[in-house]
Chain A
Amino acid sequence: KQEVTQIPAALSVPEGENLVLNCSFTDSAIYNLQWFRQDPGKGLTSLLLIQSSQREQTSGRLNASLDKSSGRSTLYIAASQPGDSATYLCAVPSGSARQLTFGSGTQLTVLP
């Protein structure tokens, strides 16, 4: 059974810092890995999708990397802004339905 873990559970940084969020998964036979953002009380917004054949994916100030062999992914956020404050979730598809298995998320607070 796939298990996904995210560390740290919460992170508070001053504006302008570069930061790294971590995601690990137990079964390395994944199709892809997806990072989401969730604002309080809201649904999930897709940030980045990394296919299993890719090493990294970039969108603006976000860069996600994937190391299947070690079962790890990182989300790098450059020059953080208060608007980046949210919970960040990683997820991998598994099972016959390719349903997503999520980590518990990292709650990020960027202080002005």
Chain B
Amino acid sequence: DTGVSQNPRHKITKRGQNVTFRCDPISEHNRLYWYRQTLGQGPEFLTYFQNEAQLEKSRLLSDRFSAERPKGSFSTLEIQRTEQGDSAMYLCASSLPTFYTFGSGTRLTVV
């Protein structure tokens, strides 16, 4: 278990399609976060899990977005009815408790 793993690395999808990303955190880390990063900006917080409980959601997380972390292990982030504005890098991080380790991200392009 060498770090945070994210899949896929890249995703190209047509507008209106649904996409799902996966994050496998460091196993000892009970905190898991999703962030979104657009070009030239720092990452912005989307949502937070402690174990399997989703405890915090950003206003950026519209109702087209949903995240899960079943059994407090891996997490998935789903975007329904994708829009061109959803094109971004989606980053997952886990922490113990405030030292963060980030994954390599999933680059989403909506065409």
Contact = CB atoms under 8 A, between A and B. Distances in A.
Interface of A: 4, 31-32, 34, 36, 41-46, 49, 89, 91, 93, 95-105
A34 B100 contact: yes
Nearest to B99: A49
B99 A43 contact: no
Nearest to A89: B42
Interface string B77-110: 0000000000001010101011111111101000
B2 interface: no
A44 B48 contact: no
Contacts of B98: 31-32, 93, 98
Contacts of A99: 33, 45, 48, 56, 58
Interface residues of B, number: 28
A100 B6 CA distance: 19
Contact of B43 (A49, A93, A100): A100
B62 interface: no
Contacts of A45: 102
Nearest to B101: A46
Contacts of B42: 4, 89, 91, 102-105
Contacts of B93: 44, 100
Interface of B: 6, 31, 33, 35, 40-45, 48, 55-56, 58, 89, 91, 93, 95, 97-105, 107
Contacts of A44: 43, 91, 93, 102
B97 to A, nearest CB: 7
Given A31-B98, A100-B33, A101-B45, 16 more contacts: A32-B98, A42-B105, A43-B91, A43-B104, A43-B105, A45-B102, A46-B100, A93-B98, A96-B56, A97-B56, A98-B31, A98-B97, A100-B43, A100-B93, A100-B100, A104-B40
A100 B97 CA distance: 12
